[in-house]
Structure 1
Amino acid sequence: MSRPAGRVLTLLELLQSGGTRTVAELADRLGVEGRTVRRYVDQLIDLDVPVESVRGRYGGYRLGPGYRLPPLMFSDEEAVAVLLGLLAGRRAGLMTAQDTASETAAAKIRRVLPKHVARRLDTLLESLAFTDRPGPFAAPDAGVLLTVADAVRHRRPVSIRYADRDGRRSERTLHAYGIVAHAGHWYVTGADAGIGEERTFRLDRIADARTLPGSFEEPAGPSPAQRVLSGFATAAYRHEVTLRIHATTAQIRAHLPATVATLTEHPPATPENREAPENREADEDRADARWLRVELRVERLDWLPAVLAALDRPFMIERPEELRPLVTALANRLTTNAQLPSDPKATPETARSTPPP
């Protein structure tokens, strides 16, 4: 396709996106002068495309109402983006009133795709899992995503060039078990053949992926989504925190989800703990409440005291010692703030100097 012809088609795509486009905007997008834009518009009109001229300060060009779009043409990247958007929207519950429309839109897109692209997208959709209701996601390279999905589907090793969060680059051979959408990112989980251990990699940090000869058998065990959640909960961070909390699993999970912490049952440390009055509070969850060991790994400790306060359940800190003064400091601040007088001009300093009634 010649360069001018390609620019004419690009002009048509810009006009199809809707609204009125100024000559200056179109010239900038096409990399040409204004008079060249007018010449391209004339060519579209010669092809019976109803381009209308809009006069005035915000004038320019637009497509006439009711114009029927020609068959869609998508690159691999565009097709991946559109179909993943439809899928994520349905999973997030954003299209409950328009499920039929989203289904028919996806079907129309698939019909106009080349067969090899449609097959690769089907393979991708079969390989996906979500850990929760998806939101906006960082888009990985479409070629990497499709290659990894093909490796998952056919159980073939894949070579990846990866950059970790510190920017260190490495080349690895991965036995990929599945692709998982989690917390705004796409991940692939599987066995790193070089070290013989399971690993999780962010797809947008993979610079290149290519399938290798051979095959592998996925071991029995958790689903790819469960593997990703477990990997996050046990990842190495600066602080290792161990708590014992007397609560139900649901109460703890409301503040410390599985992506953050692991829970195991743990008996009270002493009979006194078991019989402590605060553990006998009458509430609807008392029958299910029990001592649970909570373990998590974090980069910072400063957010944990507020979480423990929000839980409002008996707890004990096993480690680290640095967490104790942070919890005490929060308790002191809350106590001081609770004693502030109703006078809006009062400050914490005057409150401390004012004797109680």
Structure 2
Amino acid sequence: MSRPTGRVLTLLELLQSGGTRTVAELADRLGVDGRTVRRYVDQLIVLDVPVESVRGRYGGYRIGPGYRLPPLMLGDDEALAVLLGLVAGRRTGLTAAERTAGETAAAKIRRVLPRHLARRVDAVLESVAFTDSPGEPDAPDTGILLAVADAVRNHRPISIRYTGRDGRRSERTLHAHGLVAHSGRWYVTGEDVQLGEARTFRLDRIEDARTLPGSFEPPPERTDPAERLLSGFATAEYRHEVTLRIQATVHQIRARLPASVALVEDDATEGWRRVEVRAERLDWLPPVLASLDRPFVIERPDELRDLVADFADRLASYAQHP
């Protein structure tokens, strides 16, 4: 496909995404000048695509109402990427209505694929298995998800009505920095304006979200939203605070204690790492430490030392029986 033809098709995709596009915006997206944009528009009109010219300060081009998309044409890689994306999207905590929309969208794409390609895509979809179960996610409201995403993208303050895990309701003004989908739930990270602190909120606990006038300047060195979420999990208040020293690499430790569970820092002794874990229960830690198969020291709590000793005794007794 020649580059001018490719740019004409790109122009069609931009116009089909909705709204009025200025000549300057289209020129920037296509990497050409304004005169070339107008020439590409003329080519679309010759192809009977109803491109309308909009006059005025915010004028430009748009697709006329009622225009239907041409038949869908996807290559092997594109079709597989789209359909697998829809399948994966069902596992990220979408509402029931959105899951239905994903299924109907996948069915529509499947129907218009060429027969040979449809068979190959079906083979992948029927063969693939996921290692985790989606369970019953705590789904956010679609309108709230879109409102928060808009606030993140355009750096606009947003007012939310929020219910905490203790059942208390409050109204917050948030400078949202990012959205994170994690284990079937959606979260937004940002700065709570009233508190002046970095906070993380679950979207399914937001009852209402309303963007406010104005904008804010994001911090120059803000933490990655996903890292902020995981470190928040690792430092949250739990019943037990565990401190360990483990002679292992960070990669070896992370294989058993991910960032959502533990904080890992370099220790004063070369080759050792200081690990802090907060947990409601301790009984899961002895098997994890054993699976690391690396020297470790338990600094606290004493209860964990007893559990590790009991676990070691049980393993020894099992080994003695044929």
Specify if TM > 0.5.
yes
Task: Report the counterpart of residue 185 of structure 1 in structure 2.
Answer: 185
Residues 62-99 of structure 1 show CA distances to partners (whole Å, capped at 9, x for unaligned) of xxxxxxxxx99xxxxxxxxxx9994672899xxxxxxx
1:139 Cα deviation (Å)?
Answer: 2.2
In the alignment, does 2:302 pair up with 1:321? Answer: yes
In the alignment, does 2:242 pair up with 1:241? Answer: yes
Residues 279-333 of structure 1 show CA distances to partners (whole Å, capped at 9, x for unaligned) of xxxxxxxxxxx20001121111111111111111100011122211111111111
* 8 Å CA contact retained: 1:159, 1:171: yes
Note the 1:1-357 alignment, pairs <5 A: 86=85, 89=88, 136=134, 137-219=137-219, 220-268=221-269, 290-340=271-321, 342=322
* Identity over aligned pairs, percent: 66
1:167 Cα deviation (Å)?
Answer: 2.1
Q: Separation in 2 of the partners of 1:335 and 1:305?
A: 14
1:230 Cα deviation (Å)?
Answer: 1.8
Give the TM-score, by structure 1 length.
0.52
Gap regions ≥5 residues in structure 2: 1-67, 70-81, 92-101, 110-130
- 1:252 alignment partner, SS class: helix
* 8 Å CA contact retained: 1:245, 1:315: yes
* 8 Å CA contact retained: 1:135, 1:184: no
* 8 Å CA contact retained: 1:91, 1:134: no
Task: Report the counterpart of residue 19 of structure 2 in structure 1.
Answer: none
Task: Report the counterpart of residue 99 of structure 2 in structure 1.
Answer: none
* 8 Å CA contact retained: 1:134, 1:182: no
Give the TM-score, by structure 2 length.
0.58
Change beyond 3 A, Cα 1:216–1:88: farther
Cα RMSD, aligned residues only: 3.0
* 8 Å CA contact retained: 1:242, 1:319: yes
Q: Separation in 1 of the partners of 2:200 and 2:183?
A: 14
* Deviation beyond 6 Å, 4+ runs, structure 1: none
1:138 Cα deviation (Å)?
Answer: 3.5
1:149 Cα deviation (Å)?
Answer: 0.9
Q: How many pairs align? A: 206
Letter in 2 for 1:334: L
Q: Separation in 1 of the partners of 2:210 and 2:191?
A: 16
Change beyond 3 A, Cα 1:135–1:180: farther
1:240 Cα deviation (Å)?
Answer: 1.3
* 8 Å CA contact retained: 1:173, 1:192: yes
Q: Separation in 1 of the partners of 2:292 and 2:181?
A: 28
Letter in 1 for 2:264: L
1:216 Cα deviation (Å)?
Answer: 1.2
1:168 Cα deviation (Å)?
Answer: 2.2
1:267 Cα deviation (Å)?
Answer: 2.9
Letter in 2 for 1:89: A
Q: Separation in 2 of the partners of 1:190 and 1:223?
A: 10
